[in-house]
Amino acid sequence: MQFTIATIVLAAMLPAALAANCQNSGGVANGECVKFYSNDQCKGGAIGSYKPTCEGNCFQGSFSSVEVSGDGTYGTDCTIYSDSNCNNEQTETGNSVAGAGKCGSSPNAGSMKCYYRC
């Protein structure tokens, strides 16, 4: 089976296209969110975001910090990995239920598993 360049590019973009971007502020109704950044301090504009679930799917991508926030009732937390397959754990963000959220720094991370309302 042969794949064209366009097929490979579209397949790589599919997980990001299907993930819902965060719309509300953290700590309020529907505020559960995972934002990831190119710097190690969760500063400036996020390079991406998504709404986490309790399934803890392996998100693959290059980033250096992750900010998590809950919805004021239920928390969000992430485990960050150095590899692209969620195998080599580097650090955890800790659980964030209310407020501005928590930042987990992990320069040159390759993947993460995040959980919400588990």
* CATH number where 102 lies: 2.60.20
- Domain-embedded: residue 14: no
pLDDT at 42 over 50: yes
Q: What is residue 11's DSSP assignment?
A: H
* pLDDT tier for residue 31 given thresholds of 50, 70 and 90: confident
Structural domain total, the chain = 1
Instruction: Look up the domain containing 85 and give its range.
Output: 19-116
Q: What is residue 51's DSSP assignment?
A: -
Alpha-carbon dihedral sign for residues 19, 21, 22, 23: negative
Among the listed residues 74, 104, 67, 68, the one whose alpha carbon sits nearest the alpha carbon of residue 89: 104
- Domain-embedded: residue 13: no
pLDDT at 27 over 80: no
- Domain-embedded: residue 47: yes
pTM value? 0.79
For the stretch 60-83, pLDDT in tens is 999 999 999 999 999 999 999 999
Mean pLDDT for the chain? 85
Mean pLDDT of the 35-51 span: 94
Instruction: Tell me how many degrees the CA angle 111-116-117 measures, rounded to the nearest 5.
Output: 155
Mean pLDDT of the 86-103 span: 94
User: Tokens for 71?
Assistant: 């919805």
The residues, ordered by sequence, that sit 6+ positions from 110 with a Cβ below 8 Å of its Cβ are 60, 61, 62, 81, 82, 83, 84, 85
- Domain-embedded: residue 1: no
